[in-house]
Amino acid sequence: MAPLLRRGGRAARADAPPAAVDPLERIAQLTRANRDAPDADTEVELVRLRHEAFAALDRAPVPGFEPVRAAGGGRDTLLEVRPDELSAETLRAAFAEQGCLLVRNLVPEDRVRRLVEGIDRAFDAFDAGLAGAPVSDTSPWYVPFKPTLGKYRTGGRQSWLRAGGTMWTADSPRMLFALTELVGELGVGTMIADYLGERPALSGNKCTLRRVPVDAELANWHQDGAFLGAHVRSVNFWLSLSECGRDAPGMDIVPRRVDEVLETGTEGAFFRWSVSPDVVRRAAGDTPILRPEFGPGDALFFDHLFLHRTAAESTMTRERYAMETWFFAPSVYPDDQIPLVY
């Protein structure tokens, strides 16, 4: 039986929205209901609502917002803060100095374990869906997300995403719910809202579950701003759910603030949006390129100008579990992304 919600002194079913209810309030209602009694249909409905509610957001420009600018020449170690030190102010300061901020042990061990188990179940359901299983068998772990807003082309995405050990978080209603609950409980959502100056929106096509295989190839250097646009305001919450960087694919980074989108597609760059090794060396200057080692529950925050690549070697023997979650300021939301209200 669907849980009851109190509204105006009367009982109302969570699955029977009134005609005039605000979509953001409806999201809050269903979230509370699903928190008390997890329900597959509710989680599927929340994916749809989070997408369509973007049209209800105030997207007026934020007056007086100052973009982050480089303050310093980079570092040879990563800036780290404890979870209780994470704030909009520490994030801005770290972005200005080195383009990213590392938070060790942000997510507790038991929560990491549940997220890893959830990713395994989501991928199992994903594979079953690709093999022809009906949605009734794969829900709520896999229900293909069908956006109605934005210009992103979604056709055929499942196969090439799966080849790289990736699936959209929005394709797993259960895991999207787990993500939004996690972000809320950690205070990450509030912190990012403070940093951006407005209620953030996620990107359906850049929020992903990762189970990166051991045979992953070393990826090209890139800044996500090369295809998102330099004008956006963003924060990526990159969460490691396993040890990586030594025996499992990790990340190579330039720990230095870059204030613009670098030249792309030059000699040595594999894609037109990727950055060649020569351009990376010039951008890094005297700052050494780092390959950090991450543990389960460690988080790296960065934005669309951060210069990085996936780091993989033939000697690596373990998969990497991770979640990548991109937040954007709705006032400058990129046109080619699929919006989801946080």
Q: Is residue 22 part of a domain?
A: no
Q: Is residue 249 part of a domain?
A: yes
Q: Is residue 36 part of a domain?
A: no
In this structure, what DSSP letter does residue 127 have? H
Counting Cα atoms < 13 Å in the Cβ hemisphere of 198 gives 23
Q: Is the pLDDT of residue 7 over 80?
A: no
Q: What is the residue-averaged pLDDT of the chain?
A: 90
Token pair listed for 149 = 């807003």
Q: Is residue 180 part of a domain?
A: yes
Q: Is residue 30 part of a domain?
A: no
Q: Is residue 300 part of a domain?
A: yes
SS3 label, residue 294: strand
pLDDT in tens, 136-188: 999 999 999 999 886 666 666 777 788 889 999 999 999 999 999 999 999 99
pTM of the model: 0.91
From the list 79, 77, 66, 71, the residue with the least C-alpha distance to 97 is: 71
Token pair listed for 242 = 């396993």
Domain span at 140:
42-53+75-330
Percentage of the chain beyond pLDDT 90 is 73
Q: Is residue 82 part of a domain?
A: yes
CATH number at residue 48: 2.60.120.620
pLDDT at 156: 64
Into how many domains does the chain fold? 1
pLDDT at 20: 64
Q: Identify residue 33 by its one-letter amino acid code.
A: A
